[in-house]
Amino acid sequence: MRVLLAEDDAMIGTAVRDRLRGSGLAVDWVQDGRAADAALAGGTYDLLLLDLGLPGREGLAVLKRLRGRGSTLPVVIVTARDAVDDRVAGLDAGADDYLVKPFDLKELEARLRAVLRRRGGHASSVIEHGRISLDLASHEVRDDGVPVPVSPREFALLHALLERPGRILSRAQLEERLYGWGEEVGSNVVEVHIHSLRRKLGPDLIRNVRGVGYRIPEDPA
Ligand code: CA
Quick one: which of 122, 141, 123 has its CA closest to 132?
141
pLDDT at 55: 96
C-alpha 17/C-alpha 27 separation (Å) is 6
Residues 6+ apart with CB under 8 A from 192: 186
- Assigned fold of 2-120: Rossmann fold (3.40.50)
Q: Contact at 8 Å (CB) between 74 and 48?
A: yes
- Sequence length of the chain is 221
| In the chain, where the domains are located | 2-120, 126-215
Give me ligand 1 centre to Cα 74, in Å: 20
Is pLDDT at 219 greater than 90 in this prediction?
Answer: no
Around ion ligand 1, residues with a beta carbon closer than 5 Å are: 8, 51, 53
pLDDT at 125: 82
Quick one: which of 151, 152, 148 has its CA closest to 205?
148
Is pLDDT at 177 greater than 80 in this prediction?
Answer: yes
| Tens digits of residue pLDDT in 64-100 | 999 999 899 999 999 887 788 989 999 999 999 999 9
CATH number for 126-215: choose from 1.20.120.80, 3.40.640.10, 3.40.50.720, 1.10.10.10.
Answer: 1.10.10.10
Give me ligand 1 centre to Cα 78, in Å: 9
The answer to whether 2-120 and 126-215 have equal CATH topology is no
pLDDT at 179: 86
Mean pLDDT computed over every residue of the chain:
91
Average pLDDT over every residue of 134-163: 92
C-alpha 48/C-alpha 46 separation (Å) is 7
Query: Which amino acid would we find at residue 205?
Result: L
pLDDT at 221: 63
Handedness of CA 29, 25, 104, 118 (dihedral sign): positive
pLDDT at 176: 86
- The 3-state DSSP composition of the chain as helix, strand, coil percent (nearest 5) reads 40, 20, 40
170: confidence class by pLDDT, cuts 50, 70, 90: very high
Give me ligand 1 centre to Cα 51, in Å: 6
| Tens digits of residue pLDDT in 1-49 | 899 999 999 999 999 999 999 888 999 999 999 999 999 998 789 999 9
